[in-house]
Structure 1
Amino acid sequence: MIEVYTDGASTGNPGKSGAGIYIKVNKEHYEYSIPLGELTNHEAEFHAVMEALKLCKAHFPAEILSFRSDSKLVVDTIEKDFTKNKAFIPLLEEIRELYTDFPYFFIKWIPEKQNSNADRLARKALRMTL
């Protein structure tokens, strides 16, 4: 099972945004900081999950994925597979399409303090955009 920690960060709402992705595979780990452009903080959180799914598809196809995020909104939206927010509907649809490539996809909410690696990487991505 692959453990994937994601975080999104934004300098404004909306503003320059970035994604941090920390992937644990056995005793190895991989770190990614991805600038995202102008997004709200919530949109950046969704995009972080999408970017992580794309990375997993390229590097860990057909693996079992266990995602962790400190965004309750994102986790709840994906778990319930529903949102009323029109801005989030296409993001949810893309996430749904991306995770169907894997035999199992789980997502779990974690407190911010347990997501420090992904947070650090998201902040690094922000610095890359400034």
Structure 2
Amino acid sequence: MIEVYTDGSSIGNPGPSAAGIYIKAGEDKYEYSFPLGVLSNHEAEFLAVIKALEVCKEKFPNEILSFRSDSRLVVDTIEKDFTKNQTFLPLLEKIRERSSSFPYFFIKWIPEKSNGNADKLARKAIRIL
């Protein structure tokens, strides 16, 4: 099972945004930082999950994925597989599509203090902008 920690960060809302992804695969650790452009913080959180799924497709195809996020909105939306928000709907659809290629994908909410690695990586990518 692959553990994937994601975080989106924005300076301003909307503002320069980035995604941080921290992956634990057994003893191996992987770190990714992606600048995302100008987005809302919520959009950055969703895109962090999408980017992480893309990384996992390349590096860990056919693995069980256990995602963790400190965004209740993102976790609740993915778990319920529903949103009325027209901005988030295409992002949810991308998550559905990308996660369907894995045998099992789940996501759970974690407190912000437990997501420090992904947060650090997202903040690092914002400084690149």
The TM-score bracket by the shorter chain reads over 0.9
Cα distance in 2, alignment partners of residues 72 and 110 from structure 1: 9
Aligned residue type for 2:12: G
Gapped regions of structure 2 (runs ≥ 5): none
Residue 100 in structure 1 maps to residue 100 in structure 2 = yes
Please state how far the C-alpha of 1:12 moved relative to its aligned partner. 1.1
Cα distance in 2, alignment partners of residues 47 and 9 from structure 1: 10
Aligned residue type for 1:95: I
Gapped regions of structure 1 (runs ≥ 5): none
- CA RMSD in angstroms comes to 0.4
Aligned to 2:33: 33
Aligned residue type for 1:74: V
Cα distance in 1, alignment partners of residues 117 and 27 from structure 2: 15
Cα deviations across residues 29-86 of structure 1 (Å, max 9, x unaligned)?
0000100001000000000000000000001000000000000000000000000111
Cα distance in 1, alignment partners of residues 30 and 97 from structure 2: 24
Please state how far the C-alpha of 1:18 moved relative to its aligned partner. 0.3
Cα distance in 1, alignment partners of residues 33 and 121 from structure 2: 5
Aligned residue type for 1:66: S
Aligned identity (percent) is 73
Cα deviations across residues 97-130 of structure 1 (Å, max 9, x unaligned)?
000010000100000010000000000010011x
Aligned to 1:66: 66
Aligned to 2:15: 15
TM-score by length of 2: 0.99
Cα distance in 1, alignment partners of residues 19 and 35 from structure 2: 6
Where in structure 2 are the equivalents of 1:105-124 lying within 5 Å? Answer: 105-124=105-124
Where in structure 2 are the equivalents of 1:45-84 lying within 5 Å? Answer: 45-84=45-84
Please state how far the C-alpha of 1:25 moved relative to its aligned partner. 0.4
Q: Could you say what secondary structure the match of 2:115 adopts?
A: helix
Cα distance in 2, alignment partners of residues 78 and 2 from structure 1: 18
Cα distance in 2, alignment partners of residues 101 and 125 from structure 1: 28
